Amino acid sequence: MRFDEIVIRTDRLDFPALAAGEGPLVVCWHGFPDHPLSFGPLAERLVAAGRRVVAPFLRGHHPATLGRLRFADGLTLAADAAAVNAALSDEPLDVIGHDVGAGVAGRLAAAWPERVRRVITMAVPPPATLGTIFDDPAQQQRFFYVFLFQVPGVGEALLNEALIRYLWRTWSPGLEAPEHVLALYADPAVRAGALRLYRANFDRSLHDPVLADRAKVSEKPAPVPMLVLAGEQDGCITPDNYAGAAAGLAPGSRVEVVAGAGHFLHLDRPDEVAALALDWLR
């Protein structure tokens, strides 16, 4: 898939992004450890169906935004997404988020529902149901890296190419980390930013106080119906974690488990994911 490189100028930050196609916009937010290029197979199918795909780099994941992570909580990233949508269109936009990007899309829909039309999240349950995800010892084991990332020095030593390769192979069995991902995370500044994203899960000093009012609603069910996709073979967040997802979703939402897919389900099963996405976006 051939992408053009663009810059989305917002009142918060200028966001580098990859873009392709013509037609109604779909904004795609990537996760960890990942890169917007990984949306390529899905974007190819969306573009063929007459959509324009814009995939921004998360704050701190591009040379132009390195060091711009004073605050690194999920709501900060959702506020970025709201600003991107506002800069791209006066109308609500369709949004797809994977992994960390799923949290971005879910919190965007909850805190800025006027900025979204249709929402799809992949590989992470809705934010409103994540409060209990650490209760399961088996899930705690799968999240070993989350806890190790909290320890200064340990996180910096652990987050390397070997770990990234391991996570990709474990999360989507048989899938190797692409070179564009390895090249992105070869930059120590990018790795430092990624660690801040994870440390913000527990460190309140990394939460933007300006967004405190939005935080009152960002972890509640969004008023916008969402399509939530999970991979049947996801080695990071297993499908059983979606059993209570309906409690965190608006009426009209759907949860779909994609057969034969792992965590990177848009790479494992791009045809199936594209078909589900296009049906939902219609």
* pLDDT, average across residues 111-126: 98
* Domain residue ranges in the chain: 4-281
The pair of structure tokens assigned to 147 is 């806890």
Q: pLDDT (tens digit, 9 = 90+) per residue, 169-219? A: 999 999 999 999 999 999 999 999 999 999 999 999 999 999 999 999 999
Q: pLDDT (tens digit, 9 = 90+) per residue, 99-115? A: 999 999 999 999 999 99
How confident is residue 132, by pLDDT bands cut at 50, 70 and 90?
Answer: confident
pLDDT score of 12 more than 90: yes
d(CA 19, CA 21): 7
97 pairs with which residues across the strands? 29, 121
**Domain 4-281 bears CATH identifier 3.40.50.1820:** yes
Pair 221, 245: CB distance under 8 Å: no
Around 152, how many Cα atoms within 13 Å sit in the side-chain half-sphere? 1
Element (H, E) at 137: helix 137-142
Name which of 199, 265, 274 is nearest 34 in CA terms.
Answer: 265
pLDDT score of 262 more than 90: yes
Element (H, E) at 93: strand 93-98
0.95 cut: is pTM over it? yes
The pair of structure tokens assigned to 16 is 């580098």
| pLDDT at res. 232 | 98
- Inter-CA distances, 63 with 57, 184, 204, 219, 274, Å: 10, 10, 26, 30, 30
Q: What percent of the chain has pLDDT over 70?
A: 100
* pLDDT, average across residues 267-271: 98
For the four alpha carbons of 15, 17, 21 and 27, in that order, the dihedral sign comes to negative
| pLDDT at res. 93 | 98
Q: pLDDT (tens digit, 9 = 90+) per residue, 44-75? A: 999 999 999 999 999 999 999 998 999 999 99
* pLDDT, average across residues 6-19: 98
Q: Tell me which residue has tokens 């996405």.
A: 277
Element (H, E) at 117: strand 116-122
DSSP state at residue 114: G
Q: Are strands 14-20 and 4-9 parallel, antiparallel or unpaired?
A: antiparallel
d(CA 94, CA 26): 5
d(CA 230, CA 264): 9
Phi, psi of 194 (to 5 degrees): -60, -40
Pair 68, 59: CB distance under 8 Å: yes
| pLDDT at res. 227 | 98
Lowest mean pLDDT among 1-5, 132-136, 171-175: 132-136
For all residues of the chain together, what is the average pLDDT? Answer: 97
Residue 258 identity = V
**Sheet holding 52-56: strands in order across?**
4-9, 14-20, 52-56, 25-29, 93-98, 116-122, 226-231, 254-258
Q: pLDDT (tens digit, 9 = 90+) per residue, 139-150? A: 999 999 999 999
| pLDDT at res. 124 | 97
How confident is residue 134, by pLDDT bands cut at 50, 70 and 90?
Answer: confident
Element (H, E) at 227: strand 226-231
